[in-house]
Amino acid sequence: AQAWLEVALTDLQSSRNNVRHHTEEITVDHLLVRRGQAFNLTLYFRNRGFQPGLDNIIFVVETEDAVYLDSEPQRQEYVMNDYGFIYQGSKNWIRPCPWNYGQFEEKIIDICLKLLDKSLHFQTDPATDCALRGSPVYVSRVVCAMINSNDDNGVLNGNWSENYTDGANPAEWTGSVAILKQWYATGCQPVRYGQCWVFAAVMCTVMRCLGIPTRVITNFDSGHDTDGNLIIDEYYDNTGRILGNKKKDTIWNFHVWNECWMARKDLPPGYGGWQVLDATPQEMSNGVYCCGPASVRAIKDGEVDLNYDTPFVFSMVNADCMSWLVQGGKEQKLHQDTSSVGNFISTKSIQSDERDDITENYKYEEGSLQERQVFLKALQKLKAGRFHSSRRGADLQPSRPTPLSQDSPRRLHTPSLRPSDVVQVSLKFKLLDPPNMGQDICFVLLAFNMSSQFKDLKVNLSAQSLLHDGSPLSPFWQDIAFITLSPKEAKTYPCKISYSQYSQYLSTDKLIRISALGEEKSSPEKILVNKIITLSYPSITINVLGAAVVNQPLSIQVIFSNPLSEQVEDCVLTVEGSGLFKKQQKVFLGVLKPQHRGSIILETVPFKSGQRQIQANMRSNKFKDIKGYRNVYVDFAL
């Protein structure tokens, strides 16, 4: 009888296979292959040669690809691209923040696998956890919980306190690699500090590294509805300033999450594709701080009873907003706004630096009958209590009567009259110049009388800093305007907030909310208008001196300036870029005189070819996030 074949050596052909599987940037020393694609290996036998017809070799493989994306340009963007932009600011001023995802950098794959092993699931039941790692739904929930550190030794500590003395201000980061490497190097101690865009960016790095198509999404005016009634309550005092509220409902100026592409065999047909995952610790889901995957299609259709966490995501993009005036311990309803939440939902375009607006993926057009019908459907599903997600538990009852009452369909189909329609006066803010950091803010209040009667107005004006999560800081500027309007007359009331008035009150988010609360002598109705101003800095300029070629020295010039008319101290410049720098470069600049401009030259040797990006940030004792970037094409060495 013929002797059994004994395998002496297996050649996994790592180098060749990894190139064909687009993983050679991660490693060529180990076999790293992607689902659903062929690869070659060679077996060497010890005792005799392989005889076709006589010998049979059986391989057992499972190659179903639950994250297959059939567009090559989309695969290049959402799996292979190692840099991008995260949109910040406000809906009136959308600002791209450059980011180094760096998913193919040295050690990142090991860190991502360590992250899976550090999860509560693996720690509790390693066998089941490993068996479920082929499921993108499961893996995405595990990663989502591990990016924040609320339940475990996750990657990032969240901090919205404005006090970051024992860590990094979230605005200073320009990439995920430094964060993940610090977490790994310190024995998996959470890195201080992150906010929503940092959580989402690090999650994007991990998911792209694991081969799951992922993109970073920004939602402007994002609802955070804590009691599941799809109403965000905002409270104002009689000067028009916004008050912090007991319920902790807020509208975030912007909020950032991820979308990951996957099949959803656990849901009815049609709900696969892009899924929302939100690693920012806001609410619990099945006992841990994670959110999703929630089908984007389900959110648009109002199917809030489909897993996971769709009611919460629905409220982020489509809750209604109720404004209340608080006076003498009483609350007076000012207005219910059905369209203020969820604007300009944005992500980076495929293979370009432009912004893609994907709002229509999440909801029908604001003001359309379809949008109101979906809102009602979602409300009815929540009211019926048919969803049993532990994100909300049983606490579905709103804290006060809201449109869950009997007349809700009629009221929701015909939005309530705005106070300005009752008073017949409209108020609006208009900026006169772009709001630059270090300069005075000049604006006007436009008042227009729509009626054929005279109108006597008293308008309380105020300004206060905001954090991007909607939390208000104390007002630092107030004014009272008395305006008399003839029939059909328009008037402007000029306002100015000087740099010395706002400089010490500004948060890192550089957001100022100006408010006006107007009342007319003959009417009890009050008109509330506000505008959010984002102060901007001049960017850092980066110039590449000469041609960029793999393994050839390259000089990079970084030009920076102090935009303020006062001296700044403790200036630090950080520069990074995957494939260009082995690690983040830090340059200590020290003191910069008022309006000082300077430049430095950095020397590096690019080690990867193709399209690359350099990201830079400058911080000081007065500002934290002056940014800049430059795209560079690196040629192969001849």
Binding residues for Ca(2+): 318, 320, 366, 371
Q: Letter for the amino acid at 35?
A: R
Give the 3-state DSSP-derived string for 27-53, with helices as H, strands as E and coil as C.
CCCCCCCCCCCCCCCEEEECCCCCCEC
Q: Is the peptide bond before 499 cis (omega within 30 degrees of 0)?
A: no
Q: What's the rounded Cα separation, in Å, for the pair 267 and 308?
A: 10
Residue 12: name the closest of 51, 38, 43 by CA: 43
H or E segment at 370? helix 369-383
Structure tokens at 159: 């901090």
| Sequence ranges of the binding site | 318, 320, 366, 371
373: left (phi > 0), else alpha (psi -120 to 50), else beta? alpha
Structure tokens at 430: 């208009």
Q: What's the rounded Cα separation, in Å, for the pair 113 and 279?
A: 18
SS3 of residue 49 by DSSP: coil
Q: Which residue has the tokens 């999404």?
A: 217
Contact predicate 441/496, CB 8 Å:
yes
Burial of 30 (0-12, 13-18, 19+ CB in 10 A): exposed
Structure tokens at 614: 């350099």
Residue 221: name the closest of 513, 525, 543 by CA: 513
Contact predicate 454/447, CB 8 Å:
no
Residues whose CB falls within 8 Å of the CB of residue 455, separated by 6 or more in sequence, listed in order = 423, 424, 425, 449, 484, 485, 520
Buried b (16+ CB within 10 A) or exposed e, 344-380: bbbbbebeeeebeebbebbbbeeeeeebbebbbebbe
Contact predicate 618/560, CB 8 Å:
yes
Residues whose CB falls within 8 Å of the CB of residue 187, separated by 6 or more in sequence, listed in order = none
CA dihedral 24, 25, 27, 33 (to 10 degrees): -50
Q: What's the rounded Cα separation, in Å, for the pair 277 and 332?
A: 37
Catalytic residue among 82, 249, 278, 625: 278
Catalytic residue among 97, 196, 290, 571: 196
CB neighbours of residue 148 within 10 Å? 26
Q: What's the rounded Cα separation, in Å, for the pair 272 and 71?
A: 16
SS3 content of the chain, % helix, strand, coil (to 5): 20, 35, 45
Burial of 572 (0-12, 13-18, 19+ CB in 10 A): middle
Q: What's the rounded Cα separation, in Å, for the pair 502 and 436?
A: 12
Catalytic site includes residue 278? yes
Q: What's the rounded Cα separation, in Å, for the pair 19 and 33?
A: 9
Contact predicate 536/435, CB 8 Å:
yes
Structure tokens at 435: 């709001």
Catalytic residue among 224, 255, 335, 468: 255
Catalytic site includes residue 255? yes
Structure tokens at 329: 């311990």
Residues whose CB falls within 8 Å of the CB of residue 384, separated by 6 or more in sequence, listed in order = none
Positions marked active-site:
196, 255, 278
